[in-house]
């Protein structure tokens, strides 16, 4: 017998779980189908939480290693990878257990299976059982991409899953890619003591960010001894279990680098494999994402998609907001608005961290939006100087007439925390003058923000 629901959600990660919570609160009959073991989704099991556990450890280690800067005698600070691995496993197991309990609650039915479409209202599980629903949400996330680079598929390589699960210090690693996962984990590897060679195709790492911000992180990486090659073209990858070699073109020269391990951090792709979307008539965009409108509806109006599978960014708070929005829209909640992509926060947890909110300067220029900008460096700010945290700057972008804040970019110590000084004000459409009325405690890292705010306020007053 086919079981009938108001909403079936494929995937119990950040998007799926939060959609289920909202739909249940609206009094709907909900089912979640997820085939992974253990349950928990990417963020908890192999994404944000394990990576940030390791990166925080690497920050502590780095501070201990540079104790001399602060007049401290710390004879030796090294990474005990077995202990680090155990700690990470325990933290993640606790988070995953908690999420598994939430997913297994009696608020909805949970099916531990893969799901595929039979038609636009019906799904089939691994055991042949069929489930039907008025609405279906695709929240299947993303998977590691292996681009067609000569030799890559034939060469043994690590993915982020493997790096996050290391219980030893690798002697040397070649990192392919310069996105946030590549950069965060390259620095982690370097800080625990590996030789790290990072090869990036674009002219600067973190290419989704400004060249100026990328250049700061690049400098910090080089200062820590990461061998960094940008603007490259990969020619050939070769290797076996004993070691790998990567040949690439850089600045008109052919270079070959060898290392014990290869880390493929060339990106992820939306996971639509096995869903049989054609049976439901759901369309894919040219980028491979499930195409949706601003309310997360696909071209089949009762089928929704949210999270990494629909994009446009692989970010947890976006996945959550999209999942919640899809559930509210499906059940006709009044007064809901699409997710406001101009408020998207983005944090890269390198050291220095890189964080942005709102559009980048380049995007404002492309759109022809008038703006004022001002920035201030951390190496001229009291609190960061005493912390020996001198890399980077804070930049503020504001609308020229009233000074409404449009966006901000912070590269520096704790940028991921500091950027939240702007998230409330941006959501409330505050101006630089509003923020300057707020108190800023001295001496804090946060008070650096007042300098670009004041500069923009002066620019407006002089106009």
Q: What angle do CA 169, 173, 226 make, to 5 degrees?
A: 95
Out of 20, 136, 316, 410, the residue judged to bind ligand FAD by CB under 6 A: 316
Burial environment of residue 273 by CB neighbours within 10 A (0 to 12, 13 to 18, 19 or more): exposed
Closer residue to ligand FAD, CB minimum distance, 322 or 373: 322
- How big is the chain, counted in residues? 463
Spell out, one character per residue from 50 to 89, where the chain touches ligand FAD: x when CB under 6 A holds, - when not.
Answer: -xx-------------------------------------
Residues 13 to 32: which contact ligand FAD by CB under 6 A? 13-16
Q: How far is the CB of 13 from ligand FAD (least distance, A)?
A: 2
Q: How far is the CB of 438 from ligand FAD (least distance, A)?
A: 27
Spell out, one character per residue from 175 to 204, where the chain touches ligand FAD: x when CB under 6 A holds, - when not.
Answer: ------x-----------------------
Q: Per CB under 6 A, does 230 bind ligand FAD? A: no
Long-range contact set of residues 372-375: C-beta below 8 Å, sequence gap at least 24: 372/397, 372/398, 372/399, 372/400, 372/403, 372/456, 372/459, 372/460, 373/397, 373/398, 373/456, 374/451, 374/452, 374/453, 374/455, 374/456, 374/459, 375/452
CA separation for the pair 443, 92 (Å, rounded): 35
Q: How far is the CB of 94 from ligand FAD (least distance, A)?
A: 18
Closer residue to ligand FAD, CB minimum distance, 43 or 426: 43
Q: Per CB under 6 A, does 137 bind ligand FAD? A: no
The helix/strand count (H/E) of the chain reads as 15, 21
Q: Per CB under 6 A, does 124 bind ligand FAD? A: no
CA separation for the pair 195, 258 (Å, rounded): 11
Residue 457 DSSP label:
H
Closer residue to ligand FAD, CB minimum distance, 36 or 65: 36
Residues 31 to 50: which contact ligand FAD by CB under 6 A? 33-36, 41-43, 47-48
- How many Cα atoms are found within 13 Å in the side-chain-facing hemisphere of 44? 22
Out of 5, 7, 12, 206, the residue judged to bind ligand FAD by CB under 6 A: 12
3-state secondary structure (DSSP) of residue 410: strand
Contact 85, 167 (CB under 8 A): yes
Residues 140 to 169: which contact ligand FAD by CB under 6 A? 140-141, 160
Out of 11, 177, 214, 311, the residue judged to bind ligand FAD by CB under 6 A: 11
Note the residues at the interface with ligand FAD (CB under 6 A). 10-16, 33-36, 41-43, 47-48, 51-52, 114-115, 139-141, 160, 181, 271, 274-275, 307-308, 314-316, 319
């Amino acid at each position: 017998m086919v079981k009938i629901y108001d909403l079936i959600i494929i995937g119990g990660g950040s998007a799926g779980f939060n959609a289920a919570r909202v739909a249940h609160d609206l009094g709907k009959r909900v089912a979640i189908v997820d085939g992974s073991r253990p349950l928990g989704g990417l963020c908890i099991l192999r994404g944000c939480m394990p990576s940030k556990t390791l990166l925080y450890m690497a920050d502590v280690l780095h501070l201990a290693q540079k104790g001399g800067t602060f007049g401290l005698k710390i004879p030796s600070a090294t990474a005990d990878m077995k202990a680090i691995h155990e700690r990470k496993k325990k933290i993640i197991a606790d988070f995953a257990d908690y999420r598994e309990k939430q997913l297994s609650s009696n608020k909805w039915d949970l099916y531990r299976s893969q799901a595929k479409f039979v038609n636009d209202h019906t799904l089939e599980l691994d055991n042949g059982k069929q489930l039907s629903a008025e609405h279906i949400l695709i929240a299947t996330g993303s998977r590691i991409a292996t681009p067609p680079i000569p030799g890559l598929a034939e060469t043994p390589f690590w993915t982020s899953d493997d790096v996050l699960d290391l219980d030893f210090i690798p002697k040397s690693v070649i990192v392919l890619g310069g996105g946030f996962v590549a950069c965060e984990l390259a620095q982690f590897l370097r800080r625990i003591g590996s030789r790290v060679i990072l090869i990036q195709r674009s002219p600067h790492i973190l290419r989704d960010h400004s060249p100026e911000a990328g250049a700061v992180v690049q400098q910090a990486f080089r200062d820590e001894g990461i061998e960094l090659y940008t603007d490259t073209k990969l020619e050939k990858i070769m290797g076996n279990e004993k070691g790998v070699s990567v040949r690439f073109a850089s600045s008109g020269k052919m270079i070959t680098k060898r290392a014990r391990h290869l880390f493929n951090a060339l990106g992820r792709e939306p996971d639509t494999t096995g869903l049989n979307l054609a049976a439901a008539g759901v369309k894919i965009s040219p980028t491979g994402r499930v195409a949706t409108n601003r309310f997360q509806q696909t071209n089949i109006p009762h089928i929704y998609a949210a999270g990494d599978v629909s994009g446009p960014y692989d970010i947890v708070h976006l996945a959550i907001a999209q999942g919640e929005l899809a559930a509210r829209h499906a059940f006709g909640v009044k007064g809901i608005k699409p997710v406001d992509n101009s408020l998207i926060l983005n944090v890269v947890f390198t050291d220095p961290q890189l964080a942005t909110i709102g559009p980048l300067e380049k995007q404002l220029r492309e759109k022809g939006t008038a703006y004022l900008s001002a920035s201030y460096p951390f190496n001229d700010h009291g609190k960061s100087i005493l912390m020996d945290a001198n890399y980077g700057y804070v930049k503020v972008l504001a609308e020229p007439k009233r000074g409404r804040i449009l966006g901000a970019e912070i590269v520096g110590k704790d940028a991921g925390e500091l950027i939240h000084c702007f998230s409330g004000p941006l959501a409330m459409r505050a101006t630089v003058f509003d923020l300057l009325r707020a108190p800023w405690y001295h001496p804090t890292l946060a008070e650096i923000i007042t300098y670009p705010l004041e500069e923009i306020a002066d620019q407006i007053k002089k106009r």
